[in-house]
Structure 1
Amino acid sequence: MRTRVTPAAGAAVMATGIVSVGLHLAGADRLSAALLLVAIVLWALLGAVFLARLAGDRPEWTREAVTPPALTGVAATGVLGTRIALGGGHALAGAALAVAAALWAALIVGVVRGLRGRLPGAAELVTVSTQALAVLGGTLAAVAGARWLLWPASVLLAVGLVLYVRVLVRFDYGQLRTGRGDHWVIGGAVAISALAASKLAAATAPAGAVRWETGADGLARGVTAVLLAVALGWYAVLVVCEIRWPRLSYDVRRWSTVFPLGMTAAATISAGTVLKAGRLTSLGEVLLWPAVAVWAVVAVGALRHLPALLKPGAP
């Protein structure tokens, strides 16, 4: 028996996970741990739903598997793995990386092939999922000394940037006025790219957990700075668009608004650390609390709509 849960619901795990990461980076560990627990429960529940769909309705699962929202599972697993790695669970984070990488390899080609015509912001999930692997790989390289992950993470960062440009040139800018929440991913994809670059910078810095060839950390810091500037620019544009064209009703796609808010904050804090720019770190901490507030508002909306979401029947 089907429910109305779609792959887009995976953005709830992405959003909750990255806000947990941001809170950890800002030192709010108790709240971070609480949200991590929520994210893990959501990840398990949604995973069970989609595995049941795979077993019971293969044609529908196959149709969903070639759409960008299918990649929320990859991104969610990568973000959770990153938070777990930051908390010291290196073995579990490594397992999350293996699962996310397998999902990404199975899905990414089909999704990219299906990108046609004018594209919504959600199409940038091809970038977000790719960079989620780079972030987790870079994090494990930095905190667990897994040097061998540096090259794969660097390649994934580059691939993610190529995918970002591919979607950007076909992005429907009308989504800035009419999008229901997932238009924010156009900015969140740059923010997670900046976070990936900052993790590589941290891993390759001379004072980091591992060393890489001379000059790699400087290149990673430069890429971090450029990508963060673009991400902050998108953040400002998207906020202005929300003020100009308010969209206040609940939509499951609003989780894809929370994710870029939290990701921009986390990327700014991380970049401030690797660039040794205290003002950036402070800015990231300031940006974190709007993300927490919007997370709470969207969570309340989701709880209010939960009975309809779980009602059996076609979406």
Structure 2
Amino acid sequence: MTLADTLLQRARHLAPGSFAMVMATGIVSIDTSQHGLPWVARALFAFNLLAFAWLLALSLLRLTRFRRELVADFTHPGRGAGFLTFAAATCVLGSQCLLVVHWPRVAGALAALGALAWTVLTYLFLAAAITARIKPGFTRSIHGGWLVAVVATQALAALLTLLAADQPAAHTGALFGALCLYLLGAALYLLIITLVVYRMVFFPLRAREFTPPYWIDMGALAVTTLAGSLLVIHTPANGALAALLPFVKGFTLFFWATATWWIPLLVLLEIWRHGRRHVPLRYETDDWDIVFPIGMYTVGTYALAQALQLDFLRVIPAVGVYVSLLVWALVAGGALLRGYRGFRVGGRRHPPQ
């Protein structure tokens, strides 16, 4: 098999949620940067730039060469939401450009790209899901992956807030836009999570159906906590939006508390999945949907402690940074092992001519 054939196969079978790797790596990079590990943060940032460029190239190749398969994935309610990981990943990478290195122009360009991707993908996905003539049914459609819509919204809100803090000239307008996105993301979460919990509780859920995207039930709350905390930190006390700060503080704490509540339940379900039902532990692309929520919970808690001046909360991110880094390393190791095995198998099936 030639290199061109390999690239085409990779592009053709690219998972809709593949940009979750960039989301996960980006938030772990920010996490390590906040906790005195700058060399780790910069190494992950460099890796993320390469991963983003690689996945973007494969996505464009798939769009041009395998458009039918791409459209089929996008219009399927059970898979289409995964494409929103591109918008979320773009915004997380933009936040890295401000928090890990100081590249404000690159961050601004990524914010513009993220906003465009968020707008186009969100509305097209919802329109496709609503207008589809044949629908696969409730249990095959709704799952935690739908909450990537919330993650993308709040990641954009967080990036706009960071840009406003870095560029005071556009402060009020950017903060107002970030606040509107924060409130929209909160509304979307309350709407979607109702459907997700209804599906989990009142319909049979097999162990193999409890997939990693269900961790976004917590991850969407964690990124909402981050977006709200950044708004509290960077909104001037005497500015036009100051009157809304008490509301944002209370709402943000509400979402953090709910995110905290989710963690033990998700861990129990993982034990049930792998320990009781013996679903094998092996790498799949969706595993990055576990890494991102863990890293985001750590970063969100760190920001919340700063926003509400609750120093006793800092113990959570002080421990969580190593947990998120360990989980990232395990998933990345699984990805490398799977890629190596695939290369070995491919090499035996297609020996050099």
Q: How many residues align?
A: 308
Alignment of 1:189-204 (within 5 A): 189-204=220-235
Q: CA deviation at 1:296?
A: 0.4
- Residue 292 of structure 1 is matched in structure 2 by 325
- Residue 181 of structure 1 is matched in structure 2 by 212
State the alpha-carbon separation in 2 of the partners of residues 5 and 305 from structure 1: 15
Question: Which of residues 145, 151, 163 is equivalent to 2:188?
Answer: 163
TM-score, normalised by the number of residues in structure 2: 0.82
Distance 1:32 1:152, change over 3 A: same
Give the greater-gyration-radius structure (CA): 2
State the alpha-carbon separation in 2 of the partners of residues 97 and 175 from structure 1: 38
State the alpha-carbon separation in 1 of the partners of residues 291 and 205 from structure 2: 17
Alignment of 1:129-140 (within 5 A): 129-140=152-163
Counterpart of 1:110, as a letter, is L
Question: Which of residues 69, 81, 91 is equivalent to 1:78?
Answer: 91
- Residue 117 of structure 1 is matched in structure 2 by 138
Distance 1:280 1:212, change over 3 A: farther
Counterpart of 1:260, as a letter, is P
Moved more, 254-263 or 281-290: 281-290
- Higher RCO, Cα 8 Å, sep 6+: 1
Alignment of 1:1-315 (within 5 A): 1-3=8-10, 4-66=13-75, 67-86=80-99, 87-113=101-127, 114=129, 117-118=138-139, 119-145=142-168, 146-147=170-171, 148-171=173-196, 172-173=199-200, 177=207, 178-206=209-237, 211-246=239-274, 248-306=281-339
- Return 5+ residue gaps in structure 1 as ranges: none
Q: CA deviation at 1:218?
A: 2.7
8 Å CA contact 1:19, 1:292 repeated in 2: yes
| 1:128-148 superposed Cα distances (whole Å, 9 cap, x missing partner) | 111111111111122332312
State the alpha-carbon separation in 2 of the partners of residues 190 and 309 from structure 1: 36
Q: CA deviation at 1:9?
A: 1.5
8 Å CA contact 1:12, 1:255 repeated in 2: yes
Counterpart of 2:126, as a letter, is V
Counterpart of 1:122, as a letter, is G
Q: CA deviation at 1:179?
A: 1.7
TM-score, normalised by the number of residues in structure 1: 0.91
State the alpha-carbon separation in 2 of the partners of residues 192 and 238 from structure 1: 17
Counterpart of 1:180, as a letter, is T
State the alpha-carbon separation in 2 of the partners of residues 236 and 142 from structure 1: 35
- Percent identity reads 30
State the alpha-carbon separation in 1 of the partners of residues 314 and 206 from structure 2: 28
